[in-house]
């Protein structure tokens, strides 16, 4: 993909205080985007933003609070948004109910901005491990079904919705360059033909 494909565009990363938020924030910056990092841990996102102050803006807000997200959508209005990336399942895996409510809610609240920017929505989450309980398995099923469900609701607005499912084990973690390449592709011009898809990312085998 062109190195500056996102030049002049805005990308918002929700629950950006995790390691994937750092990687994706800087990858989209390198591709020319203005990146807005949203997380309830203000100190953490300010720390991340200092590495690229000219392109990264921290916004201290809990993306699992529907009332705050609704207010964000009202303030943002129709300012074009190229991509909305949800990292809530990675940042707060223990907050299952809040996450399943917040992702579609924040997407809905920013739908006008995504439509104006011909944007895309991407959710990242980890597969459950072999010892996961029923609640974690159900969480995985709900997140796996979400891209197709949201795509059906947003397709008429020209918004693409996809998901990336990471391996369960940290020892099988996906290389950072593979993670960022997949996200940049799905949110970029060449990925516009993809919608409602759930793509599993796999660790490289030596």
pLDDT, tens digit, for every residue of 97-119?
Answer: 999 999 999 999 999 999 999 99
Q: What is the pTM of this model?
A: 0.93
Find the angle CA(167)-CA(23)-CA(10) to the nearest 5 degrees.
120
Q: Which residues of 45-77 are buried (b: 16+ CB within 10 A; e: fewer)?
A: beebbeeeeebbebbebbbbbbebbeebbeebe
Residues 107 and 94: their CA atoms lie apart, in Å, by: 21
| Structural domains in the chain, sorted by start | 10-200 (3.40.50.720)
pLDDT digits (tens, 9 = 90+) for 52-93: 888 999 999 999 999 999 999 999 999 999 999 999 999 999
Confidence band of 2 (pLDDT split at 50, 70, 90): very low
Nearest by Cα to 11 from 47, 43, 46, 59 = 59
């Amino acid at each position: 993909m062109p190195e500056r494909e996102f030049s002049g565009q805005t990308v918002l990363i929700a629950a950006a205080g995790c390691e994937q938020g750092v990687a994706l924030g800087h990858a989209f910056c390198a591709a020319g985007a203005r990146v807005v990092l949203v997380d309830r841990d203000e100190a953490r996102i300010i720390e991340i933003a200092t590495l690229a102050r000219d392109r990264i803006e921290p916004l201290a807000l809990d993306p699992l609070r529907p009332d705050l997200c609704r207010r964000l959508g009202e303030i943002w209005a129709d300012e074009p948004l190229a991509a909305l990336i949800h990292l809530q399942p990675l940042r707060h895996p223990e907050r299952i109910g809040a996450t399943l409510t917040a992702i579609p809610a924040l997407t809905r609240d920013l739908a006008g901005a995504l439509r104006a920017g011909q944007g895309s929505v991407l959710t990242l989450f980890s597969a459950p491990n072999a010892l996961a309980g029923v609640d974690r398995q159900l969480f995985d099923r709900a997140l796996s079904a979400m891209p197709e469900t949201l795509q059906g609701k947003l397709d008429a607005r020209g918004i693409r919705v996809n998901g990336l499912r990471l391996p369960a084990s940290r020892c099988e973690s996906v290389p950072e360059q593979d993670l960022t390449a997949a996200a940049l592709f799905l949110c970029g011009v060449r990925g516009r033909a993809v919608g409602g898809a759930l793509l599993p990312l796999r660790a490289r085998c030596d």
